A and B are shown apart, each in its own frame.
Chain A
């Protein structure tokens, strides 16, 4: 099993550009999450999903959108990138235990 796979690992965006961070899990977990981690800080929840077709806002959802059309995939969309979105993004899935992806380091310039 691959666990939780995130792509890309690194990305530089210009202000105003859009991108989608991909997240796929192969463990048939119902729960999936997107977190951001700013330098020296803890994890903050952006969005989460309790199952296919269901998503909900976390602590810091502004500037982001998500969808959950399948159990496996939970992409995170940035529509108009801003420097404040420079961060490391982690996807995770859960069904009891938690499994994290390896992270996406995003820089907005």
Chain B
């Protein structure tokens, strides 16, 4: 079993829909990151969370430390949101290294 599990692996939505991507982890963490990667593109850090909720524009990220679960929500989705979304956790190791989930490939159709 992977330490970081994301669901769904693939997601297709219509423009305007509310989208939720889930991340569960099995290890103790000091922080959780949500990353975005557009096709053929670089990797952008969307959020870093250690508790509660953060919002940036149409993106909302939440984390429940007790349940070891985080969600990324996209409101009023748009085709430009089409990308791979990656959950990654920071476990407090000496190298400050991330453990990555397998990613969720999102396609938003107009």
Interface residues of A (CB under 8 A from B): 31, 33, 42-43, 45, 48, 50, 56, 58, 90, 92, 94, 96-103
Contacts and interface: CB of A to CB of B under 8 A. Distances in A.
Given A42-B102, A42-B103, A98-B33, A50 B96 contact: yes
Contact of A94 (B42, B96, B103): B96
Contacts of B86: 42-43
A43 to B, nearest CB: 5
A97 B101 CA distance: 17
Contacts, number: 46
A100 B102 contact: no
A61 B101 CA distance: 21
Interface residues of B, number: 20
Nearest to B102: A42
B97 A98 contact: no
Interface string B95-110: 1111011110000000
Interface in B52-110: 86, 88, 94-98, 100-103
